[in-house]
Amino acid sequence: MFDCRRASGFDWCYSFVPPQSRAVTVVSIGRRAMRVLIVDDDEGYLGFCTIILSEAGHDVVSCNQFTEGRRRLAHEHFDALIVDVRLGDYNGLHLITLAARSMTKIAMSSFFDTVVRREAEQAGARFVLKPTDCASMAALLPHNRHPRSTVV
């Protein structure tokens, strides 16, 4: 059974599956893909978000280290950045300050801290408390102007 919703001007669906299977299927309908960089040192959560956003139709690049995220951000084009605030010895908010102004930015943290939330918002990012439903995070990503081509 699919639950379809309209959010931020696009349609998306996800399927309900038995709780014991822990499987989720996201189907994008009439949605334009975004190139998304996810940087998180929690490899399990990083993998889960990568799968969910990829199944939603996005081109996802994921990395689990701050330095790799910084290198990719400097040398590749992305429409959105999703970053964990605590990345080992580094602060993920630094990546947000390096990102282009036009880029959609989301800062995640397992710890609620009003100062960090304010800093993220001042840098132009939305603050999301982890763990969050990655499908809901996909709803935070706006339309991209350039549709992704698919060859069938």
CATH assignment at residue 133: 3.40.50.2300
103 located within any domain:
yes
pLDDT band at 32 (very low <50, low <70, confident <90, very high): low
**Model confidence at 84: pLDDT above 80:** yes
15 located within any domain:
no
152 located within any domain:
no
Report how many domains make up the chain. 1
pLDDT value of residue 5? 41
pLDDT band at 132 (very low <50, low <70, confident <90, very high): confident
Residue closest to 78 by CA, chosen among 113, 42, 53: 53
150 located within any domain:
no
19 located within any domain:
no
The pTM of this model reads: 0.71
17 located within any domain:
no
109 located within any domain:
yes
**Model confidence at 36: pLDDT above 70:** yes
Task: Determine the structural domain holding residue 42 and report its residue range.
Answer: 32-138
* Count of Cβ atoms closer than 10 Å to residue 23 Cβ: 8
Core vs surface per residue 1-21: b (16+ CB within 10 A) or e: eeeeeeeeebebebeeeeeee
